[in-house]
Amino acid sequence: MNIIETKNLTKYYGKSLGIIDVNLSVAEGEIFGFIGPNGAGKSTTIRTLLGLIYPTGGSATIFGKDIIKFGPEIKEEVGYLPSEVFYYDDMKVIDLLKYSGSFYKRDRSVIDKRIKELAGIMDLDLTKKIDDLSYGNKKKVGIVQGLLHQPKLIILDEPTGGLDPLMQQKFFDLLKEENEKGVTILFSSHILSEVQKLCDRVAIIKEGRIIKVQRISDLIEKNYKRFKLQTAAKAEPENISIDGVSDLKIEGTTVSFLYKGPINEITKKLASLDLTDLWAEEPDLEEIFLHYYQKED
Amino acid sequence: MNVFLRELRAHRTALIFWCIGMFAMVGSGMGKYAAYESSGTSVNTLVRQLPRAVQIILGMGSFDLSKAIGFYGVLYLYLIVMATIHAAVLGAEIISKEERDRTSEFLFAKPVPRTKVITAKLLAALANMIVLNLVTLVSSIWVVDYYNKGGRPVTGDIVALMAGMFFLQLIFLSIGMSIAAIRKKPKSAASIATAVLLATFILSVAIDINNKLEFLKYLTPFKYFDAQDILPDGRLDLGYVALSGGIIIVLLAVTYRFYAKRDLSI
């Protein structure tokens, strides 16, 4: 059974576009990346899944249950960290977390213990007032708040903003630990290196539509290579351009491009050139991603 | 239960100030009665010399101002204005503040249906209104009784007036809540609710000044529980009680329906 399943999920805000025909399926135990630039529809999709806004078309299920009919029941097992965290300013951190915990049908003592544990890991002072916290610390409250009831599905919307690299690492370790226990994670981000570090599969969204769903490993290893060449004489584009070459840049005798396709085809082509040096590297996701967007434009 | 307790705590300080204000209003208002009375002039003669419109705007109507309860009848108008402002703003804000403070994304990602949140907030608002009403009731009975030397007992009259005030509080609470439930822009809910309050209040004054507008009296809750109608026999008009009940039920139904169905503004 898929943990999240959406079928042509569509959301219009009045006439302006939110998301169109989003089809996603996230399997149990998966860390699923959801990536796209700001305004592409990531938050809209997530908020629709959580029942904060209602779809104008299509449907979705979480744990096999319809998101609209069984919203509260589903959310019993969902932990959510929004991209921007806002809490009741007059509350202390510990009171907010206990308030958050009070919504779940769980043993209070278990939740209290988990709050202390998570606050310890994230280095969060529980006695402070929400109002006095820095942005990064509010984010930590958000993380603890999202995990304190030990949910089966964690939904993260741009979760790392405001966290320093050390905290980010701790947070990712925490997520991996949860994932090893069988927890499914939906991780939305516009920062590709995070997704690359953490996720098994990734959906790429642009202007409200899912362009592609792929394994991270496929994206990185199997399909794409980043080539850099040093040629003896000034290279001409037609000497390199074959099917599968993209992002071709030629600056004097330095050439670089992305290649997707049979590796023999490109080496044959390159053999005809007078090379002084050659690098073939794994491109990072950032490059592939950029390439997707450029191609679509 | 958690949302209910949370709301009680969030409104505690404000409620204390409202109660102090209400008590001060009753105390200082009736203090003026003492001043008139001791000056020896007949308040009634003095007031009757004012133009009728001024008398009406000041809420003096046809009360017997030489009696403590008559004077209190005038003061009642100011008390219900205070109580309804409290109710309208409370109703609008208790719903809209989650969106205004952007905590709705936190709250509604929890396993709690929106209708349940509304119920908790409604109950918390009711508790606040009941406290304010009881504080007004007790301080009114105490203060009016203090000045009511030898007059007939006033407790029954004041209880009837406060019952009327409670209906008005309920009406304006549900006006505030329903506006906040319908409006997607959370910041404007309280100001629209107070604008409705002001408009209906002005209408009630206009009806008093101009008898030809009498047929509009059903449009303004301020005409439902007028002290001039209640005081003679200490009874509420049951027709208006039923009308109030109807309005409250419809507005609360609107509140539940719209808030559960609409997109939250985040």
Q: What is the pLDDT of residues B31-59, one digit of tens each?
A: 888 777 776 566 677 777 777 777 777 77
The Cα diameter of chain A in Å comes to 73
Neighboring chain A residues of B101 at a CB cutoff of 8 Å: 86, 88-89
Chain B nearest C-alpha distance from A102 (Å): 7
**Contact across the interface for A53 and B110, Cβ inside 8 Å:** no
Is B48 inside any structural domain?
no
Backbone CA torsion sign across A58, A64, A70, A73? negative
Number of domains in chain B: 1
The residues near B228 (Cβ < 8 Å, ≥ 6 apart) are B61, B62, B63, B73
Q: Which two tokens stand for residue A99?
A: 């308030």
Is B212 inside any structural domain?
yes
Per-residue pLDDT of chain A (297 residues; tens, 9 = 90+): 799 999 999 998 877 778 999 999 999 999 999 988 778 899 999 999 999 999 999 999 999 999 999 999 999 999 999 988 899 988 999 999 999 999 999 999 999 999 999 999 999 999 999 999 999 999 999 999 999 999 999 999 998 888 888 899 999 999 999 999 999 999 998 877 788 888 989 998 888 899 888 888 776 655 678 889 898 888 777 777 788 888 888 888 888 888 888 888 888 888 888 889 998 887 766 666 666 655 544
CA angle at A12 for the pair A11 and A15, rounded to the nearest 5°: 175
Is B191 inside any structural domain?
yes
Please give the residue range of the domain that contains residue B21.
Answer: 3-26+75-261
- Residue in A closest to B184 by C-alpha: A53
**Contact across the interface for A75 and B101, Cβ inside 8 Å:** no
Comparing CB atoms, the residue among B10, B105, B112 nearest residue A52 is: B105
Residue to mutate among A44, A47, A52, with most B CBs inside 10 A, is A52
Comparing CB atoms, the residue among B2, B261, B262 nearest residue A99 is: B2
ipTM attached to this prediction: 0.86
Alpha helices per DSSP H over chain A = 42-49, 71-75, 93-101, 108-122, 135-147, 165-180, 192-198, 216-217, 263-271, 285-296
**Contact across the interface for A87 and B106, Cβ inside 8 Å:** yes
**Contact across the interface for B106 and A100, Cβ inside 8 Å:** yes
Is B142 inside any structural domain?
yes
pLDDT reported for residue A281 = 81
pLDDT in tens, A252-276: 888 888 888 888 888 888 888 888 9
**Contact across the interface for B261 and A54, Cβ inside 8 Å:** yes
The Cα diameter of chain B in Å comes to 67
- Residue in A closest to B107 by C-alpha: A100
